[in-house]
């Protein structure tokens, strides 16, 4: 049985994240999506809220898989260092597989979504509808 983990902050979960989750779940028998609490980031949603958002999505997709979603080469440099550290700390047991997002989502980041939403911009093509509603609510934006 092949297993993988997809860790991330998912603040908020974007269509790019969903693309990596969907494609990873087709590659591995089991996909575990881990919501990280990065103390170096100021988040819009609490860890509990982000977990609940992912649970709502995962329930409909039967997802329980280390896979990292990459947007650009700058992401790769950072993720490569983490992958090599994880491999070393695990005694060569843990491998990391890099899966790039589909081209249609390569521009997309949670930070960009938050910035657009904070100015009442249209994020409907960036996140699922239910996530957009939650993001707008956090910013007090009436749509």
Query: Known catalytic residues?
Result: 17, 41, 71, 110
Give the DSSP H or E segment for 53.
helix 47-61
Q: Which tokens belong to 11? A: 């603040």
Burial of 34-60, coded b for 16+ CB within 10 Å and e otherwise, reads ebeeeeeeebbbeeebbeebbeebeee
Q: Which tokens belong to 21? A: 């989750």
Give the DSSP H or E segment for 49.
helix 47-61
């Amino acid at each position: 049985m092949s297993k993988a983990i997809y860790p991330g902050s998912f603040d908020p979960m974007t269509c790019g994240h969903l693309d990596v989750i969907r494609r990873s779940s087709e590659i591995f028998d089991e996909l575990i999506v881990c919501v990280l609490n990065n103390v170096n980031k100021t988040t819009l949603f609490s860890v509990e809220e982000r977990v609940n958002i992912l649970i709502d999505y995962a329930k409909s997709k039967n997802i329980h898989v280390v896979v990292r979603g990459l947007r650009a080469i700058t992401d790769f440099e950072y993720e490569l260092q983490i992958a090599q550290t994880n491999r070393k700390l695990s005694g060569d047991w843990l491998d990391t597989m890099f899966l790039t997002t589909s081209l249609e989502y390569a521009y997309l980041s949670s930070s960009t979504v938050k910035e657009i939403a904070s100015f009442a911009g249209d994020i409907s093509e960036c996140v699922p509808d239910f996530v957009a509603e939650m993001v707008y609510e956090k910013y007090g934006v009436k749509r």
